[in-house]
Amino acid sequence: MNVLAYKKHEVLDKGFVELVDTLGSDLTVVNSARVSFGKRKDVFDNSDRRLVKYLAKYKHFSPIRHIQAQFHIKAPEFVMRQWYKHVVGIETSSNSSVKDHAWNEISGRYVEVEDYYTPSVFRQQSEDNKQATEGAINEQDSARHHWEQAIYHAKEQYWKLLNMGVGKEQARAILPLNQYTEVYWTASFQAVMNFIELRYEKTAQWEIQQYAIALLDIMSLAFPETTKAWKDTWK
């Protein structure tokens, strides 16, 4: 394992993605595929590289799902709301006894919310896409002032409620979606790469794109052969 894969990747103004742990390697994929023939290898070579490419090209995902990765992520709440929707490569059945993913999130019931996201550039609404933005607005300073004022007033009222004795689980409800949250995410290689493939696209919201870019860098270091083979299948 390349030790650089465990380096924390800073994202946005206060966020990050950090690889915490892994299960398996590129060799895990080929050994999982070749178990059908009763074979196992200890060293990854060119024949294994061809096999991984074949598995990715023809979407034979079961050997690839034997790789798992665990990440520590800090992201704005509105980013995580999009992230949670990704379920490809993830067992979500409530009656399944085996889960290949897990989420655990910091709780505003236990700790005070402290960090909030502020964009470096305020973008204008796209004329062609109702859910997208394009380019920068002209009044950057004014937009930043209104944004920071909104955060200031939300934080001020939040702390006033806490100081009055209102419980954190209620007081947090007034906070905006740009509040940062932290999660631990464990998922199969397929689940991680599906997220990256969809959110790496230029049509994805810019903020979540930055997390997809960071994840791709990490996966390329942690599982270079399988990541490259998967990425080569992207259209």
At 55, list the tokens.
């598995």
Of the chain, the end-to-end C-alpha distance in Å amounts to 28
- The residue to which tokens 């299948």 are assigned: 233
68-76 sheet: strands from edge to edge: 9-11, 15-23, 68-76, 180-188, 102-105
User: Quick one: pLDDT at residue 99?
Assistant: 53
CB within 8 A of 90, min separation 6: which ones?
100, 101, 187, 188, 191
User: Quick one: pLDDT at residue 90?
Assistant: 57
Instruction: Select the more confidently predicted residue: 69 or 102.
Output: 69
User: Quick one: pLDDT at residue 88?
Assistant: 61
Span 156-174, average pLDDT: 96
Give domain 3-111+179-231's CATH architecture.
2-Layer Sandwich (3.30)
Span 187-206, average pLDDT: 92
Q: Is the pLDDT of residue 36 over 80?
A: yes
User: Quick one: pLDDT at residue 131?
Assistant: 84
At 147, list the tokens.
């944004």
Give the global pTM. 0.92
CB within 8 A of 12, min separation 6: which ones?
75, 76, 117, 207, 210
Instruction: Select the more confidently predicted residue: 3 or 222.
Output: 222
Point out the residues that are catalytic.
Answer: 199
**Considering only 9-13, 90-94, 153-157, 182-186, which range has the smallest mean pLDDT?**
90-94
User: Quick one: pLDDT at residue 102?
Assistant: 86
The pLDDT tens digits of the residues spanning 101-132 come to: 788 999 999 999 999 999 999 999 988 888 88
User: What does the alpha-carbon distance between residue 56 and residue 40 come to, in Å, rounded to a whole number?
Assistant: 20
Which sequence spans correspond to the domains of the chain? 3-111+179-231, 123-174
User: Quick one: pLDDT at residue 129?
Assistant: 82
Output the CA torsion 149→153→158→161 (10° steps). 170
User: What does the alpha-carbon distance between residue 210 and residue 207 come to, in Å, rounded to a whole number?
Assistant: 5
The pLDDT tens digits of the residues spanning 135-162 come to: 999 999 999 999 999 999 999 999 999 9
User: Quick one: pLDDT at residue 176?
Assistant: 96
Percent of the chain clearing pLDDT 90 (strictly above): 81
Identify the DSSP state of 116: B
